[in-house]
């Protein structure tokens, strides 16, 4: 990499081989974004060409209407790299958590056969086009097979992160009304077997699930309910390895993925077959500069959008080989990831800042044991990557040789929309980069005026948006309108992030403007945590705020108004347990404070920003003119100090 001031640019050698190397692409795309995306769409296989590229009936929009597609045909038989070339190429390498475990490798052809068998089995279970299928699986190849099998037959998959609690699973299954759930007996996490089936049994109570397909992974003891539960291996046994993909409309739903909502109820983001496919293919190709001999590793769990787009669809559409790892990054030792990179000669590594900070804390010595010289590109996602973590990652993992892409996007956007392209740059620590060609972002002040460089405002996406942007919130058009299309009217997509740009137009993300906190990259809202805490019978009220954390970025801190007479230590434990039960282990509160009252406005709204300032010990509490109960401040301060 070449350093110029505080910017980095790709070196000559890298540039020469890069798929995109000329900044002219930005100009070309900006001239006519709709035509630009149309050109990109032509790079994929369609059964029938679209009638209209982009249409807009605010707040709804469509891409490639009238076009006919199936994402699995683009992955397999009609792969743009040519089926004959791709067929016997490695698609997926799975690395189990136990060191003594065996890796599993699937070529494209093998994967296709597995997908077809399972797709045929799903049809036998009565799954039809448009039916929702719940997937509650850990990081094992069957999760990929399940997703692709659903896509193959036109069923809508809804993956639920395997570390979510039964309760969180139930809420999602109730919303999608899935009749079939795919799960596993168990999986390995930090040397232990987690009994996933037990959690699934609990989670399907009160839902419409009538069939549960169970993958045997950990051979732990599980109860199989007669008439409802089926072993994966049994139902695929006699199924044919052949099946024709169902031809889908571009605007048919490909999947629903839930993300935190402001109340306890998560929002189901709806993604469309055509637009998502086009965006997943091209963003993976250009941003990761993906070529046939690359080994791509995105460490994100499949339960999150990064897992969907970059640990599954994106690399597969490109005919690339990718890694899937079952376990924890530092198990059984802090060099596990470095070991995996070395073992498979990973070329492209995509992870979250929280992981980088964790490795930084462990120290360089764990990297030294391994050869990391196959790495070509590093990338980061999920939250702002601070300068220290950026430099550590760039220097110690990428040896100042690899471009470090800071990629910005959201569950809603379906794919990366802001980042520097590796063959062009520039890379500027703490700045994510430029909008992906063909997308138009702006930063607006409160009045909706465009902010000049250096001035912070709301990050928004302007028409024609992006083909992969969500098409709605499942069964909740009001929420869709209110969350994304109300701040600046129905023609401007509001991201909920605040940002500013520099003179070159590079964007720096400052953080969320709403009540979302990012705990180790996981997206959680304070409202969701509060609902979980409030189910405690003796807690009348609670407020959750995010507190800065060295490794996780942010951690939740809970203030509760407790009216019972248990010892405070007991209540604190119960609160943590409550969160574990309602949501899962990803969002456990770091601290719980028992207070008499919470700071509120006269209309009764909790003023979380004051709690946040009290936590950091800030003297200036900002505007407190609307505070109805100023006497609480002193008392809360005393509780925090204790
Ligand atoms: C944040 C993850 C800074 C942002 C793909 C966004 C980032 C939210 C970055 C979406 C980044 C994501 N720099 N912040 N590179 N990437 N974010 O839905 O606040 O889990 O709105 O999608 O993560 O989180 P989500």
Which tens digits make up the pLDDT trace of 78-92?
999 999 999 999 999
Hey, what are 361's tokens?
A: 């804390």
The verdict on 459 and 521 lying in the same domain is no
Last residue of a domain, one of 464, 483, 509: 509
Taking only the tens place, the pLDDT of each residue in 239-261 is: 999 999 999 999 999 999 999 87
Instruction: Give the integer Cα–Cα distance in Å for 303 and 382.
Output: 14
Per-residue pLDDT at 63: 98
Per-residue pLDDT at 205: 98
CB distance 360 to ligand 1 below 6 Å: no
Instruction: Give the integer Cα–Cα distance in Å for 119 and 83.
Output: 20
Last residue of a domain, one of 480, 509, 538: 509
- Stretch among 136-150, 235-249, 592-606 having the lowest mean pLDDT: 592-606
Largest CA-CA distance found in the chain, in angstroms, rounded: 74
Taking only the tens place, the pLDDT of each residue in 17-70 is: 999 999 999 999 999 999 999 999 999 999 999 999 999 999 999 999 999 999
Rounded to the nearest angstrom, the distance between the alpha carbon of 66 and the centre of ligand 1 is 32
Helices and strands (DSSP H and E) totals, the chain: 22, 32
Asked if 296 contacts 347 with a C-beta cutoff of 8 angstroms, the reply is yes
The verdict on 457 and 539 lying in the same domain is no
Which residue's structure tokens are 């999947």?
Answer: 255
The verdict on 501 and 605 lying in the same domain is no
Q: What percent of the chain has pLDDT over 90?
A: 94
565 inside domain:
yes
522 inside domain:
yes
Rounded to the nearest angstrom, the distance between the alpha carbon of 376 and the centre of ligand 1 is 23
394: DSSP letter: I
The verdict on 486 and 563 lying in the same domain is no
CB distance 408 to ligand 1 below 6 Å: yes
CB distance 468 to ligand 1 below 6 Å: no
Per-residue pLDDT at 604: 85
Span 564-572, average pLDDT: 93
- CATH number for the domain that contains residue 490: 2.30.38.10
Range of the domain at 488: 442-509
Asked if 274 contacts 282 with a C-beta cutoff of 8 angstroms, the reply is no
Protein residue with least CA distance to atom 13, ligand 1: 384
Taking only the tens place, the pLDDT of each residue in 161-210 is: 999 999 999 999 999 999 999 999 999 999 999 999 999 999 999 999 99
The verdict on 575 and 505 lying in the same domain is no
Give 624's pLDDT tier (boundaries 50, 70, 90). Answer: confident
Hey, what are 511's tokens?
A: 């953080």
Give 572's pLDDT tier (boundaries 50, 70, 90). Answer: very high
Per-residue pLDDT at 284: 98
Asked if 415 contacts 468 with a C-beta cutoff of 8 angstroms, the reply is yes
Taking only the tens place, the pLDDT of each residue in 277-333 is: 999 999 999 999 999 999 999 999 999 999 999 999 999 999 999 999 999 999 999
Q: Considering its fold, how many domains does the chain have in total?
A: 2
The verdict on 504 and 525 lying in the same domain is no
Asked if 310 contacts 320 with a C-beta cutoff of 8 angstroms, the reply is no
The verdict on 623 and 606 lying in the same domain is yes
Instruction: Give the integer Cα–Cα distance in Å for 509 and 380.
Output: 13
Residues present in the chain in total: 642
The verdict on 489 and 572 lying in the same domain is no
Asked if 34 contacts 53 with a C-beta cutoff of 8 angstroms, the reply is yes
Per-residue pLDDT at 338: 96
Protein residue with least CA distance to atom 12, ligand 1: 382
Q: What is the mean pLDDT of the chain?
A: 96
Last residue of a domain, one of 478, 509, 540: 509
CB distance 217 to ligand 1 below 6 Å: no
Span 534-547, average pLDDT: 93
544 inside domain:
yes
- Strands 132-136 and 180-184, by their bridges, are parallel
The verdict on 522 and 494 lying in the same domain is no
Hey, what are 635's tokens?
A: 């008392």
User: Is the bond leading into 426 cis (omega within 30 degrees of zero)?
Assistant: yes
Span 501-511, average pLDDT: 97
37 inside domain:
no
Rounded to the nearest angstrom, the distance between the alpha carbon of 410 and the centre of ligand 1 is 5
The verdict on 626 and 522 lying in the same domain is yes
Instruction: Give the integer Cα–Cα distance in Å for 304 and 323.
Output: 16
Per-residue pLDDT at 625: 86
What's the number of CA atoms in the CB half-sphere (13 Å) around residue 50? 24
- CATH number for the domain that contains residue 575: 3.30.300.30
CB distance 497 to ligand 1 below 6 Å: yes
Q: What percent of the chain has pLDDT over 70?
A: 100
The verdict on 596 and 548 lying in the same domain is yes
Per-residue pLDDT at 264: 67
603 inside domain:
yes
The verdict on 519 and 505 lying in the same domain is no
12 inside domain:
no
């Amino acid at each position: 990499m070449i350093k110029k001031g505080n910017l980095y640019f790709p070196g000559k050698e890298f540039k020469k081989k890069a798929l995109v190397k000329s900044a002219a692409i930005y100009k070309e795309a900006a001239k006519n974004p709709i035509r630009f995306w149309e050109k990109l769409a032509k790079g994929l296989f369609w059964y029938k060409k679209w009638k209209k590229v982009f249409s807009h009936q605010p707040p709804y929009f469509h891409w490639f209407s009238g076009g006919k597609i199936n994402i699995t045909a683009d992955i397999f038989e009609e792969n743009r790299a040519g089926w004959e070339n791709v067929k016997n190429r490695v698609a997926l390498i799975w690395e189990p958590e136990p060191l003594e475990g065996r890796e599993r490798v699937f070529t494209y052809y093998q994967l296709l056969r597995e997908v077809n068998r399972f797709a045929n089995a799903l049809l036998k279970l009565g799954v039809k086009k448009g039916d929702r299928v719940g997937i509650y699986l850990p990081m094992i190849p069957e999760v990929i097979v399940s997703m692709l099998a659903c896509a193959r037959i036109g069923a809508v998959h809804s993956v639920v992160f395997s570390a979510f609690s039964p309760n969180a699973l139930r809420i999602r299954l109730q919303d999608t009304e899935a009749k079939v759930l795919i799960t596993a007996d168990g999986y390995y996490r930090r040397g232990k077997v987690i009994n996933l089936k037990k959690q699934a049994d609990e989670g399907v109570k009160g839902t419409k699930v009538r069939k549960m397909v169970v993958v045997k992974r950990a051979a732990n003891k599980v109860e199989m309910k007669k008439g409802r539960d089926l072993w994966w291996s049994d139902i695929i046994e006699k199924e044919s390895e052949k099946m024709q993909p169902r031809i889908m409309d571009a605007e048919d739903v490909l999947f629903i993925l839930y993300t935190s909502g402001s109340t306890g109820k998560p929002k189901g983001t709806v993604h469309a077959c055509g637009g998502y496919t086009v965006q997943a293919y091209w963003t993976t190709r250009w941003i990761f500069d993906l070529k046939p001999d690359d080994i791509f590793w995105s460490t994100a769990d499949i339960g999150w959008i990064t897992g969907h787009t970059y640990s599954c669809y994106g690399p597969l559409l490109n005919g690339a080989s990718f890694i899937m790892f079952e376990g924890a990054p530092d198990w059984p030792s802090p060099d596990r990831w470095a070991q995996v990179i070395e073992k498979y000669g990973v070329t492209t590594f995509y992870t979250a800042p929280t992981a980088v900070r964790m490795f930084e804390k462990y120290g360089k010595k764990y990297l030294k044991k391994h050869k990391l010289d196959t790495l070509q590109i590093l990338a980061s996602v999920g939250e702002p990557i601070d300068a220290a973590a950026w430099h550590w990652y760039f220097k110690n993992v990428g040896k100042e040789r690899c471009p470090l892409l800071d990629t910005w996007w959201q569950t809603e956007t379906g794919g990366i929309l802001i980042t520097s392209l590796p063959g062009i740059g520039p890379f500027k620590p703490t700045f994510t980069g430029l909008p992906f060609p063909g997308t138009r972002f702006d930063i607006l002040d409160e009045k909706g005026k465009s902010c000049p460089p250096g001035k912070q405002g709301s990050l928004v996406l302007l028409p024609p948006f992006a083909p992969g942007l969500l098409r709605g919130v499942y069964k909740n058009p009001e929420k869709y309108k209110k969350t994304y299309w109300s701040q600046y009217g129905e023609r401007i997509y509001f991201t909920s992030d605040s940002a500013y740009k520099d003179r070159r137009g590079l964007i720096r993300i400052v953080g969320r403007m709403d009540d979302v906190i990012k705990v180790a990259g996981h997206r959680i809202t304070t409202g969701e945590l509060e609902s979980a805490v409030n189910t405690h019978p003796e807690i009348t009220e609670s407020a959750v705020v995010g507190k800065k954390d060295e490794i996780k970025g942010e951690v939740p801190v809970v203030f509760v108004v407790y009216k019972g007479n248990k010892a405070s230590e007991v209540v604190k434990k119960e609160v943590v347990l409550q969160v574990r039960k309602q949501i899962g282990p990803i969002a456990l509160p770091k601290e719980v404070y028992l207070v008499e009252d919470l700071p509120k406005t006269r209309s009764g709204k909790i003023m979380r920003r004051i709690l946040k300032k009290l936590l950091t010990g800030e003297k200036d509490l900002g505007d407190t003119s609307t505070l109805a109960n100023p006497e609480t401040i002193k008392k809360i301060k005393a509780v925090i100090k204790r």
